[in-house]
Amino acid sequence: MSESSGVAVYGEIADGKLLPIALEGLGIGRKLADSLGQEVAAVLAGSDVAGLAAGAFAGGADRVYVVDDPLLKDYQPDAYVSVMEKVIGQVKPRVLIMGQTDVGRDLAPRLAFRLGVPVTMDCVELAIDPASGRLLQTKPVYGGNAQAVFTSDADPQMVTIRTKAMTPLQPDNSRKGEVVKIAAGLDASTIRTKLVDRVIEDVAGIRIEDADVVVAGGRGIGGAEGFAQLEELARLLRGAVGASRPPCDNGWVPDTVQIGLTGKIIAPELYIAVAISGSSQHLSGCSGAKTIVAINKDPEANIFRQARFGVVGDWKKVLPAFTARVKELMAG
Amino acid sequence: MNIIVCVKQVIDPEAPPRSFKIDAGGTRAEMQGAPPVIDPYGEFAVEAALKVKEAAGNGKITALSLGTGLLREVVKKPLAMGADALILLEDAAFAGGDGWSTASALAAAIRKTGEYDLILCGREASDTNAGQTGPGIAAILGLPCVTLVRRIDVAGDTAKVERVTSAGYEVVEVPLPAVMTVSNEIGEPRYPTIKGIMAAKKIEPVVWKPADIGIEPSQVGASGRRLKMNRLFQPVHEGKCELASGETPEEVAANLAARLREAKIF
Ligand SMILES: Cc1cc2nc3c(=O)[nH]c(=O)nc-3n(C[C@H](O)[C@H](O)[C@H](O)COP(=O)(O)OP(=O)(O)OC[C@H]3O[C@@H](n4cnc5c(N)ncnc54)[C@H](O)[C@@H]3O)c2cc1C
Ligand SMILES: Nc1ncnc2c1ncn2[C@@H]1O[C@H](COP(=O)(O)O)[C@@H](O)[C@H]1O
């Protein structure tokens, strides 16, 4: 149909490193490109980022486009949209993959509307339709109650991918390829929004994204004091404390520990959900856990449909006894 | 200060997941037994608009909603919360749209209202989970845009805005007029007061058809789509939950711990 060819992956960078989502994008990008019999290109935009090309090759790219400019030091929508529009105009990929991250959520829809193509946000599955050669874009809708499969006739076929939904390749450091530099050509006067400050609200201990065990509480915990008890269990299991949205909205825990569709997507070995009803939006964030254990006083709670083990009961009675027994078992 | 807030009528996302059903045609979803509601993030956007108007001490908030079969008691909620006017893009031609057709029609309607300083959307609708309507409107109208907003302070013709990130937040300055998408961290939407509900009863919504906003019917709704939906389905869960038992809560808890240990879960 068009002169477009190949799969382009936006290689998101933070603190001078290629993010895991970039490698997840390259992993699926490689698969799609192989089934199309075409190339994978990585796009790296930032300030002083040329050194990251090797990582993109190792992750599956055949070619790396680098846009290096001091104006790209921090993510700024007007600058990044303009640069990406230029890059896509030159690369002309058939498929463009970005991550469903702070940046991707902001950049992808704006770029799509600028390019005049649709974008499917937060895809959990991507495949090439053998009949049409077009990209089948599967994404959860209705908060995760359903999934929809979309296609677009226009190129690039744009998607963002959900964190941890796609598998990165085993890095292969022997892989090499061509690095192509593209000038940003930015006019600073077109940059309208200005980043004044970036505030990191660090949570002590292990980050929930990295923890093997997450003990999470919901609205039924009732207050910050209850979360102190979850903290005790989490410490014992060397895990982290997470929450559904209401405890964050109520200020019992920081917003940064929210798990779900609009919070963090995690995939720990063990997820203990205490007084969480199990809304589809919450489960979107934790259904990748290997084992879910639920404590809830309502036997009808939806969380029991996803949990592998459970207790029906008041967490105030169940949790202290559970923690005590876990401690004994771990000691002995 | 003229503020436009986009709100959408949706099936209730807080209804129990087991009442969620997709029709035999595989295109429409419903929450059985639960009436439709205003999209929750649209409601957070209304709350943000009210906060900005209060801080400014004056201004007009216009709620804008596109859809078909819009129930007046649902789409009037922003009025009951304190918005001043309501515009409905209601016509069969608007049905079945995607991000493109929806954002294009909303942008055309906003242009027609003439004066706007701030356009607010939710961070994502509870049905599409897309989060592209706000940025789309901004792109079409050529306005700057800040997504995932949790605080807005307007001073003259600029706004200082806090944007939620996964690690905390950013502080961003943006010239007005601008588009913003609002996140739940803005604060719980207020309940309509009796006075608000009475006032809302008296306000008649303005209803616009495609021709009123200068768009061909072929460019809105299903005909204006750029994304095709091939399939809509409910993923099946095979999971089976093993419930621990015992005489007392303490005993049940201990049995759970023992079972998890036995299964080498910890
Ligand atoms: C677009 C959109 C995005 C959203 N994103 C997210 C998200 O990212 N993350 C998220 O979590 N939510 C999200 N939500 C909100 C979501 O719909 C639910 O409102 C939320 O997950 C409910 O949290 P909960 O389970 O803690 O509270 P509830 O649903 O109120 O459940 C509380 C549970 O606690 C139990 N309980 C109460 N007391 C006790 C006790 N003493 N002992 C034991 N059990 C008890 C109750 O039986 C109940 O099951 C989103 C919503 C929308 C519309
Ligand atoms: N049909 C509509 N009418 C009014 N506002 C809408 C409509 N669709 C989307 N919006 C607004 O755009 C936000 C994001 O929607 P979406 O891009 O579909 O996730 C919603 O929270 C609303 O504020």
Domains of chain B by start residue, with CATH? 2-224 (3.40.50.620), 237-266 (no CATH)
Q: How far is A203 from chain B (nearest CA, A)?
A: 9
Identical topology for domains A7-190 and A213-331: yes
- Please give the structure tokens belonging to residue A309: 């083990």
Tell me, using a 6 A CB cutoff, whether residue B120 lines ligand 2: no
The pLDDT value recorded for residue A2 is 63
Q: Which residues contact A320 (CB under 8 A, 6 or more apart)?
A: A229, B253
The distance of B71 to chain A (nearest Cα, Å) reads 20
pTM: 0.98
Domain boundaries, chain A: 7-190, 213-331
User: What value does the mean pLDDT of chain A take?
Assistant: 97
Strands A270-274 and A291-296: parallel
* Superfamily of segment(s) A213-331: TPP-binding domain (3.40.50.1220)
Nearest partner of A106 among B13, B106, B115, B174, judged by Cα: B174
Return the biggest CA–CA distance within chain A.
67
The residue-averaged pLDDT of A289-293 equals 98
Q: Which numbered ligand comes closest to the C-alpha of A317?
A: 1
CB of B7 within 6 A of ligand 2: the answer is yes
Is the CB of residue A321 less than 8 Å away from at least one CB of chain B?
yes
Closest ligand relative to A113 C-alpha: 2
Are the Cβ atoms of A305 and B237 closer than 8 angstroms?
yes
Task: Please calculate the CA angle A278-A284-A287 and round it to the nearest 5 degrees.
Answer: 80
Instruction: Give the tens place of pLDDT for each residue, A98-115.
Output: 999 999 999 999 999 999
Residue nearest to atom 8 of ligand 2 (CA): B8
* Pairwise CB contact (< 8 Å): B172 & A193: yes
pLDDT at residue B27 in the model:
86
A7-190 CATH fold: Rossmann fold (3.40.50)
Q: Residue ranges of chain B with pLDDT lower than 50? A: none
Answer yes or no: are the C-beta atoms of A218 and A274 closer than 8 Å.
yes
pLDDT band at A203 (very low <50, low <70, confident <90, very high): confident
- Comparing A203 with A150, the larger pLDDT belongs to A150
**pLDDT score, position B57:** 96
CA dist B65 and B89 (Å) reads: 6
Q: Do B130 and A139 form a contact (C-beta atoms < 8 A)?
A: no
Q: What is the ipTM of this complex?
A: 0.97
